[in-house]
């Protein structure tokens, strides 16, 4: 079984709908059939094509959290996201690595590549209020006047960050030090290689209650991108996660 390169123009999405964010499915390996065949490996049996019995087996595996057969289906994504989303994502990968040793992460380095466009920052168009009952969450939008003030302040800080960064480079400061003045909303990019098991774990957490909506938008996009490849597995998973 080898990786299949995905070339359809429908294999990428703009999760933050700002014309800058992007997640692209660039390759995949495996299918629903591989899940059931891996599950039956202990009996030394396999199916040549997906049957109704196989579909029921996938639903059973999802319902009872028998997840190891889902590690044999692998996806490779190219992601462009704000740095603070990237760091939250990376912490998830580290925390999950004991479940899946095939996670791969290769990220753009601002030591090697300079940003050359002040437009390379994520600026939210709707600002949320701090949740009263959850210290790490937000809830409800600011009123229109306060929201516009927040946008103006946020955008001004992004511009100032970029101007300071560019000025340091012009002075001859190396990229590895100049990058220190960039704010966390600057866009970065990386390639993520990950199993279906780990992807479903990621979606479940990042679309769950209390998750930050920006990373939740990427989780939703991932779910949409992989569903055509493993439709039965995603349908089974969604049936156990009705809130999604």
Q: To which H or E segment does residue 145 belong?
A: helix 144-170
pLDDT at res. 244: 45
Q: Is the pLDDT of residue 49 over 70?
A: yes
Q: 82 to each of 5, 30, 161, 242, how far by Cα in Å?
A: 26, 30, 14, 29
- The active-site residue, picked from 22, 71, 179, 206, is 206
- Residue 3 has a pLDDT of 58
Q: Is position 206 annotated as part of the catalytic site?
A: yes
Confidence check: pLDDT of 1 > 50: no
- CB of 126 closer than 8 Å to CB of 217: no
Segment 86-106, tens digit of pLDDT: 999 988 776 665 455 557 889
Q: Is the pLDDT of residue 74 over 70?
A: yes
The residues, ordered by sequence, that sit 6+ positions from 53 with a Cβ below 8 Å of its Cβ are: none
Which residues, in sequence order, are bridge partners of residue 195? 74
Contact status, residue 88 vs residue 135, Cβ threshold 8 Å: no
Q: What is the per-residue burial (b if ≥16 Cβ within 10 Å, else e) of 205-216?
A: bbbeeebeebbb
Please give the model's pTM, rounded to 2 decimal places. 0.89
Radius of gyration of the CA atoms of the chain, in A: 21
């Amino acid at each position: 079984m080898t990786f299949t390169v995905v070339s359809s123009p429908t294999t990428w999405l703009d999760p933050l709908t700002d014309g800058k964010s992007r997640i692209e499915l660039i390759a995949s390996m495996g299918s629903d059939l591989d899940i059931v065949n891996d599950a039956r490996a202990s009996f030394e049996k396999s199916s040549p094509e997906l049957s109704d019995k196989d579909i029921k087996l996938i639903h059973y595996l999802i319902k009872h959290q028998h997840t190891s057969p889902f590690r044999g289906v692998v996806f490779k994504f190219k992601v462009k996201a704000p740095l603070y989303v990237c760091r939250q994502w990376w912490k998830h990968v580290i925390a999950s690595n004991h479940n899946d040793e095939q996670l791969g992460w290769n990220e753009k380095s601002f030591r090697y590549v300079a940003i050359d466009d002040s437009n390379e920052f994520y600026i939210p168009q709707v600002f949320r209020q701090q949740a009263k009952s959850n210290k790490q969450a937000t809830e409800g939008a600011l009123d229109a006047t306060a929201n516009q003030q927040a946008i103006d302040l946020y955008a001004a800080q992004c511009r100032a960050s970029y101007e300071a960064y560019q000025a340091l480079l012009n002075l001859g400061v190396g990229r590895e030090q100049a990058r220190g003045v960039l704010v966390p909303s600057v866009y970065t990019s990386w390639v993520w290689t990950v199993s279906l098991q780990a992807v479903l774990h990621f979606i479940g957490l990042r679309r769950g209650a209390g998750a930050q909506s920006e990373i939740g938008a990427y989780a939703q996009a991932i779910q949409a991108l992989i569903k055509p490849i493993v439709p039965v597995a995603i349908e089974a998973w969604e049936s156990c996660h009705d809130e999604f």
